[in-house]
């Protein structure tokens, strides 16, 4: 079966249908005088932030905080001109999202001319990039076949940080979406070396696992997993999800697709609306107390569920300043969608597989079009107009290099390599746009598999595959830069 997405993908060599596929946070202090938003945390509770921040002022009146200590988020951080602190207070006591130099100020000026700067090439089907939570100097690229590569000093390092190729499901056909799909570093990675991955096994399952950094070499992971949290069985070759990200509450959020289908049928097992299964969900787990579910998860079904009614939340992210959750959910026949969830307000039903976007798509599925607790998308991309084919969720820009872009969410599409923008503020869509021409993305990219964000809030674009003159395939990593 090839849904429309698949046939569309067939234009893309090798990358083909990859994605039917597709944190942190902060209080941002209550700036009172134009002071810079620290990137404290998304904690809860009261108290005085103890995290310290040092302004690195990217512009007059702005500062980029680096919370280093435990604290309590919630927007109670104090802030002074140029510096601020708002500690992050998830259960770990350190800033989930206390990521280096995040800048929570309002945008300064307009969005300038931008470009995609190639960081490295030579990647093998890359799907994701991130940095350590408090160190933007090294990037970690996830390759589908089962490797995590380090980019440092502007160069792709030889060897791999982690190589689990032998246990990861390998692609069986062009467009096979299975593999090593997600990576998240623990908010305290610098001190505890803990990180988490999500991958397909060779038995039509996916598994969430914890690993550790090697005790004597920061460029290597210990190849022996620390633990497995859960396995999802009965998946097909598409819609496996795989996104991992720590939220402002210190919990680990996990995207799981609806399990795909082998024909034209969509969600044939009706997993999206079934809260007894992890498929078609965003899960939320406490990595220190699993399987005890954290307070606030959905009740009455699988205890790990945070949100449901998703088809393939291939990529999602948390705005490091507001804590809002931005979800790119890959559509089926006609509509790609972005959902935005205010911080902490989960337990939502995003509609699939009764709704595709705002369209009641399978009205005969119970309970029908009058769906309880249904949250409609904030933004839709139509297949019919060519605007979308397979959405790739991105990030709200919180870096320092492009002050005019601060607070703007960038996302894109795997099938047409467009990069779009939108601004969401106070519960409403303020603006939306198409940045493809500004970035030259349609001419540069082959298959926009993912965005990534480093500890300083700068954004990257992961190009899944390029077929070069020799017929070999090389994935690339780009950074979004001002001209
Ligand atoms: Ca939806």
Looking at the whole model, is its pTM more than 0.85? no
- Determine the distance separating the centroid of ligand 1 and the alpha carbon of 73, expressed in angstroms: 30
- Determine the distance separating the centroid of ligand 1 and the alpha carbon of 451, expressed in angstroms: 21
Strands 147-152 and 155-156: antiparallel
Taking residue 145's Cβ as centre, other Cβ atoms within 10 Å add up to 17
Distance of CA 339 to the CA centre of its chain: 13
Sheet of 379-382, strands arranged across: 315-318, 325-329, 335-341, 379-382
- Determine the distance separating the centroid of ligand 1 and the alpha carbon of 338, expressed in angstroms: 8
Q: Which residues of 260-278 are buried (b: 16+ CB within 10 A; e: fewer)?
A: bbeeeebbebbbbbbbebb
In the chain, where does the domain assigned CATH 2.120.10.30 lie? 4-22+110-482
Return the closest-CA partner of residue 254 out of 301, 290, 224: 290
- Determine the distance separating the centroid of ligand 1 and the alpha carbon of 384, expressed in angstroms: 18
- Determine the distance separating the centroid of ligand 1 and the alpha carbon of 374, expressed in angstroms: 8
d(CA 421, CA 438): 11
Strands 162-163 and 155-156: unpaired
Find out whether 159 and 232 touch, Cβ atoms under 8 Å: no
- Determine the distance separating the centroid of ligand 1 and the alpha carbon of 319, expressed in angstroms: 20
d(CA 74, CA 31): 13
Return the closest-CA partner of residue 238 out of 273, 267, 211, 214: 267
Name the residues around ion ligand 1, CB cutoff 5 A.
Answer: 350-351
- Determine the distance separating the centroid of ligand 1 and the alpha carbon of 281, expressed in angstroms: 11
Instruction: Please report the sign of the dihedral spanned by the C-alpha atoms of residue 65, residue 338, residue 255, residue 414.
Output: negative
- Determine the distance separating the centroid of ligand 1 and the alpha carbon of 422, expressed in angstroms: 18
Domain 4-22+110-482, second-level architecture: 6 Propeller (2.120)
Find out whether 97 and 42 touch, Cβ atoms under 8 Å: yes
- Determine the distance separating the centroid of ligand 1 and the alpha carbon of 352, expressed in angstroms: 5
- Determine the distance separating the centroid of ligand 1 and the alpha carbon of 33, expressed in angstroms: 39
Return the closest-CA partner of residue 240 out of 211, 205, 202: 205
- Determine the distance separating the centroid of ligand 1 and the alpha carbon of 12, expressed in angstroms: 26
- Determine the distance separating the centroid of ligand 1 and the alpha carbon of 418, expressed in angstroms: 21
Return the closest-CA partner of residue 451 out of 442, 443, 460: 460
From first to last of its 483 residues, the chain has per-residue pLDDT tens of 233 343 333 333 333 334 433 322 233 333 323 333 333 333 333 333 333 333 332 232 223 333 333 333 333 333 323 333 333 333 222 333 344 589 999 999 999 999 999 999 999 999 999 999 999 999 999 999 999 999 999 999 999 999 999 999 998 888 889 999 999 999 999 999 999 999 999 988 999 999 999 999 999 999 999 999 999 998 888 899 999 999 999 999 999 999 998 778 999 999 999 999 999 999 999 999 999 999 999 999 999 999 999 999 999 999 999 999 999 999 999 999 999 999 999 999 999 999 999 999 999 999 999 998 999 999 999 999 999 999 999 999 999 999 999 999 999 999 999 999 999 999 999 999 999 999 999 999 999 999 999 999 999 999 998 666 777 778 999 999 999
DSSP symbols for 222-267:
EEEEEEEEEEE-S--SS-----EEE-TTSPEEEEE-----SSS-SS
d(CA 436, CA 188): 36
- Determine the distance separating the centroid of ligand 1 and the alpha carbon of 135, expressed in angstroms: 35
- Determine the distance separating the centroid of ligand 1 and the alpha carbon of 26, expressed in angstroms: 26
- Determine the distance separating the centroid of ligand 1 and the alpha carbon of 184, expressed in angstroms: 25
d(CA 255, CA 59): 37
């Amino acid at each position: 079966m090839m849904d429309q997405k698949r046939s569309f993908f067939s234009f893309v060599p090798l990358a083909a249908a990859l994605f039917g596929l597709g944190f942190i946070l902060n209080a941002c202090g209550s700036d009172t005088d134009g002071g810079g938003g620290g990137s404290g945390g998304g904690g809860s509770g009261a108290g005085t932030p103890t995290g310290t921040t040092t302004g690195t002022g990217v512009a007059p009146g702005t500062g980029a905080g680096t919370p280093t200590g435990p604290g309590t988020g919630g927007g109670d951080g104090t802030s002074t001109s140029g510096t601020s602190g708002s500690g992050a207070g998830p259960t770990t006591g350190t800033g989930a999202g206390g990521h280096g130099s995040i800048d929570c100020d309002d945008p300064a000026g307009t969005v300038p001319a931008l470009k995609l700067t190639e960081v490295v090439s030579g990647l093998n089907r890359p799907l994701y990039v991130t940095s350590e939570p408090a160190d933007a100097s090294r990037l970690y690229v996830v390759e589908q076949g089962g490797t995590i590569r380090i980019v440092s000093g502007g160069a792709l390092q030889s060897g791999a940080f982690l190589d689990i190729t032998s246990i990861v499901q390998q692609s069986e056909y062009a467009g096979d979406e299975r593999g090593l799909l997600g990576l998240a570093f623990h908010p305290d990675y610098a001190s505890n070396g803990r990180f988490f991955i999500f991958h397909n096994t060779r038995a039509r399952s996916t598994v969430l696992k914890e690993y550790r950094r090697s005790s004597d070499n920061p460029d290597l992971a210990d190849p022996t997993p620390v633990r497995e949290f859960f396995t999802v069985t009965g998946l097909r070759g598409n819609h496996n999800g795989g996104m991992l990200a720590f939220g402002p509450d210190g919990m680990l959020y996990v995207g799981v697709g609806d399990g795909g289908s082998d024909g034209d049928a969509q969600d044939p097992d009706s997993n999206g609306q079934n809260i007894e299964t992890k498929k078609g969900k965003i899960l939320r787990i406490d990595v220190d107390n699993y399987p005890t579910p954290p307070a606030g998860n959905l009740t009455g079904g699988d205890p790990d569920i945070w949100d449901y009614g998703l088809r393939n939340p291939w990529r999602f992210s948390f705005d490091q300043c507001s804590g809002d959750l931005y979800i790119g959910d890959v559509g089926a026949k006609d509509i790609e969608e972005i959902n935005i969830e205010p911080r902490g307000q989960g337990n939502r039903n995003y509609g699939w597989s009764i709704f595709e976007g705002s369209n009641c798509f399978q009205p005969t599925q119970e309970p029908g079009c009058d769906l309880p607790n249904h949250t409609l998308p904030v933004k839709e991309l139509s297949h019919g107009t060519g605007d979308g084919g397979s959405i790739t969720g991105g990030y709200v820009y919180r870096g320092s290099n492009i002050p005019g872009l601060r607070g703007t969410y960038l996302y894109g599409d795997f099938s047409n390599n467009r990069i779009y923008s939108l601004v969401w503020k106070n519960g409403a869509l303020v603006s939306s746009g198409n940045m493809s021409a500004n970035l030259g993305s349609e001419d540069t990219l082959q298959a926009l598999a993912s965005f990534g964000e480093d500890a300083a809030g700068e954004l990257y674009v992961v190009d899944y595959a390029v077929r070069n003159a020799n017929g070999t395939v090389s994935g690339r990593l780009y950074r979004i830069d001002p001209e």
